[in-house]
Every structure is written in structure tokens, then in C-alpha cells.
Amino acid sequence: MDELNPLDPEFTEQNPLPQEEGTPCHYGTGRLPKPPRSHMTLVVTLLALLVAANLITVLAFLGLRNREATQEVAPTQNPDEISPIVGVEDATQEPQPSVTIAPSVGANVRLSPAAGEALSLQEVYAKVSPSLVGVHAGEAWATGVIFSADGYILVNAYVVEGDELPTVTLGNSREYTAALIGVDSSSDLALMKIDAREELTPAQFGESAEMGVGDSVVAISKPFGVQYDATMSEGILSAITRNVQVSGGEMCIFQTNAALDAENAGGPLVNMYGQVIGMNAQSIGAYTSYESVPGIGFCVPTHEVQSIVDALATYGYVSGRAWIGAAIEELSQTQRLYWNLPEGVILSEVYDGSCAHVAGLRSGDVLVAIGDTAITDVDSCNIALNAYRAGDCVRVYIYRGGAQYYADLLLDDAGKATQYKMILSESD
């Protein structure tokens, strides 16, 4: 047996062999115990990160408060606390010469009452589609409607604004250069004329006042260009909204669930007798179609179209609509933060001789309030202007060079917007 077996009667316990000096030993294993792991480094690191995060949060909060303090605009505060625009405090506005537009007597809209039996969808399509045209203006494409045999065409204003010579393409693919007769941005309607060398098929315009909520309607347009046939979507008249404030006046607008998009806005909304009872629009006053709420479209009913088109044909604009005298653009959040600017819209162009120019406003100014209404984007600016009419005096507030100023504007007529563009383009 093993001489070290403790069960052996002759077993004698022996001391372990002596360990050489300097050799670690732990319970005879030859190893020292591992020292306990220290968490001090991790604790210090976490504390440092926590302090840094808190410091960043405090600095960001202070910076935000500083920006908000810089951006705050109180149009209702004491006017003495905000300075007038330098050099124009006592400016007076002289009437500006207008561009004379020859009256056009062929474009007057005449409405017809519904008569006979309602048509099938196929019959409605066959009746209306020959009256549709494609309209090219720059990069924009839209659907227009022929409403007179001598070449007058109605289309959305946003498509042709800024383009004096849009191109019209008929259903047979023939193209004509159109003359822009008049524009009314508030109702999103514009009037053009072509000198066609062929017979045109005008649409029949029906009495929109005879329509009621729940009536069947269709929208017909050319959303994919002239190389494709017109498309039709079916729906109902979802709502009739009256007393909509548009440029200091009131309008009635129709709402439909017939499918609309950016390409068939400008096409007609048609009743089941094949009559146009409204012009589909991208936006009317504060109402915006399909851009913000899919499945909802708005149109200008024909009893409103009638007076607008008659005014455009006669004068080139609808008188009384307020205009600020400048082109405005959205101010993005990125631009605001980068340049430390307040909420508002930027005046991208101020027209010479306009009310904005006479009052001292200049390109690059940030418009932050109109009267008591704060401006946050283009829509809110248009809504604020809708409360006024041409000739009204309104105080506006701007931000320029790190300071806020105010100016009193004698609002121009919106018809001058097109006239100034025409003058500037001629001078170019």
C-alpha cells in the first residue's frame, strides 16, 4: 500500500516539502489566490459619462432657451418695443400704374341645367373626354378643360404661374402655344387661350347649385400625359362648404372622395349628365386637396367659376384679392436652426414698386406676423392674408439682421402679382 495512506497503521504524517523561497504557494497548491477584481475603473467611467451627459443636456437646454428668446415675436405687444424698418417709418405709397389687358368677350361661362335621363359612366366619359387637354408649363403637367370653341381653356393657377407661354396638347396630339389671359391664385384657377386651326369641343358646364351631398360625380383627367387616354374615377359629393374665407371674401367649395392627385387637379368634376359642375383644385384658401389628406379633394363649383372666369377674361385678374407684393417661400427647420432664425416665411423676391417694396421690405427678410397672426409657413401666411382685401392697411412684422421690425403695408390687389411678373419678364 501507499506509504502515505492514512488508513495504514504505520502511517506517519509528513510535512510538505519545503517551498523554495519566492515561489507562490497557497494551501500547498503552488499558487497564490487571485486578488479580488476591482470595479473602481468601471464606476469612474460611468460617473464621467453621466457628468458629460448632464453637461450636454444643460448646454442644449440653455441654447434652446436662447434661440426661443431670440425667435419670440409678440405682434400684439407695445409697438414701441419693436422698431419700424429704418428709413420708411413715414413712407407713403403712391398708386402704381397697372398693365391694361384687353377685354376678352368669348370666355364668359354659361351654365346649363341638367336635362333628360342620367347617363351611364361610359356615356359620361365619352361626352367629357374630348374636352380635355394637356398643359405643359416648365416641368409641370396638368389637365385643362376647353370651355369655348374659340380656344379658351381653364387650368389650375399653380401650374402656369410664372410661365407666360404654356403649351397645350389636344387629344389628337397637336400642340399649341397658349397665351395666359389671367390668373387667380386664391381659387387656383387660370385662363388661357389658343388659336386652334381646328374645331374644338367645349365642355358643357352645369348648374352646381343643383347638386347635393351624396350625388354621384366623376373626375376625368389625363394624369399620365397625352400619350394615354383620359382616366376616370367615380365618387360622390362628400360635402358642400359655404362661407369659406378667401382673400377677404367668401366662397363655396365642394368636397369629393373621387380620387384626385397632383396630375388630375385642374381636371373637371362632372355630374351624371356629363356636365362640369366644378374644377378640381390643389388648394382653395386654407383648404388643401390630397396633398395633406389622401382621399379628400376640393373643387371650385361652377357658380363660383363663372364669376372668376368672367373677371379673368375681362381684366386678367379678380379684383379685391389682397397681395403682399412679394414672393414667399417656406423656411425649413434646418435653415432656422443653422441661421438662428425665427419661425416664418422668407421673402424670396420683393417686386419693385409693390406695397412691400414701398414699405421697406426686402428680399431675405423673414415675415413672422401679419397683424395679430403669427406666420409659421406659406399656408398660414395665405390664411392671414385671406382676412384682408386689397387697399387694407395692415402691420407686418419681420426679422432682419438679428433684430425685429415692423412696417405698415397698404395691401396691393392680387391682380398686380401677374402684372409685376409680366413687367419684370419684359425688362429681362
Cα–Cα distance measured from residue 413 to residue 428, given in angstroms and rounded to the nearest whole number: 23
* pLDDT of 302 above 70: yes
Q: Is the pTM of this model over 0.75?
A: no
Residue 412 CB-density burial (10 A; 0-12 exposed, 13-18 middle, 19+ buried): buried
Mean of pLDDT values over 374-394? 88
| Alpha helices in 101-156, H assignment, sequence order | 121-128
CA 192 to chain centre: 24
What's the pLDDT score for residue 182?
87
69 confidence band (pLDDT: 50, 70, 90): very low
The answer to whether 111 and 205 are in contact (CB under 8 A) is yes
pLDDT in tens, 86-144: 545 444 444 443 333 344 445 666 788 888 899 999 999 999 999 999 888 877 788 89
Q: What is the mean pLDDT of the chain?
A: 78
Residue type, 71: Q
Residue type at 282?
A: Q
* pLDDT score of 17: 55
Q: What tens digit of pLDDT does each residue of 158-213 get?
A: 888 766 688 999 988 899 999 989 888 888 899 999 998 888 999 999 999 899 99
Residue 13, pLDDT score: 57
Burial 111-127 (b: 16+ CB within 10 A, else e): beeeeeeebeeeebbeb
CA distance 349 to 342: 19
Indicate the range of 35-39, 172-176, 204-208, 324-328 predicted with least confidence: 35-39
Give exposure, 356-388, as e/b (b: 16+ Cβ within 10 Å).
bbbbbbeeebbbbbbbeebbeeebbbbbbbbbb
Mean pLDDT check: name the lowest of 47-56, 290-299, 418-427: 418-427
pLDDT at 73 (0 to 100): 44
Rounded to an integer, what distance in angstroms lies between the CA atom of residue 96 and that of residue 94? 6
pLDDT of residue 70: 43
The SS3 call for residue 172 is coil
**Domains, the chain, ranges and CATH?**
86-98+320-427 (2.30.42.10), 121-315 (2.40.10.120)
User: What residues form DSSP beta bridges with 182?
Assistant: 191
Residue 355, pLDDT above cutoff 90: yes
Q: What is the pLDDT of residue 249?
A: 66
Region 340-360: what's the mean pLDDT? 93
Arithmetic mean of pLDDT, 57-64:
59
Mean pLDDT of 339-366: 93
Q: Quick one: pLDDT band at residue 229, thresholds 50, 70, 90? A: confident
Q: Which of 20-24, 42-46, 370-374, 381-385 has the highest mean pLDDT?
A: 370-374
pLDDT at position 368: 96
Q: What is the dihedral of CA 292, 294, 298, 299, to 10 degrees?
A: 120
- Report pLDDT for 15: 59
Return the pLDDT at 141: 80
Which percentage of the chain shows pLDDT scores above 70?
69
* DSSP SS3 for 124: helix
DSSP 389: B
Statement: residue 6 has pLDDT above 60: no
State residue 121's pLDDT score: 95
Taking phi over 0 as left and psi of -120 to 50 as alpha, with beta for the rest, 274 belongs to left
Say which range, 59-68, 150-159, 215-224, has the weakest mean pLDDT: 59-68
Compute the distance between CA of residue 144 and CA of residue 147 in angstroms, rounded to an integer: 10
- Cα–Cα nearest to 175, from 200, 158, 196: 196
Sign of the torsion formed by the C-alpha atoms of 264, 268, 271 and 275: negative
Please compute the mean of the pLDDT values over residues 26-33 and round it to a whole number: 52
Spatial distance between the Cα atoms of 141 and 133, rounded to a whole number of angstroms? 11
C-alpha–C-alpha distance, residues 59 and 15, integer Å: 70
Greater confidence (424 vs 330) lies with 330
Q: Is 30 in a helix, a strand, or coil?
A: coil
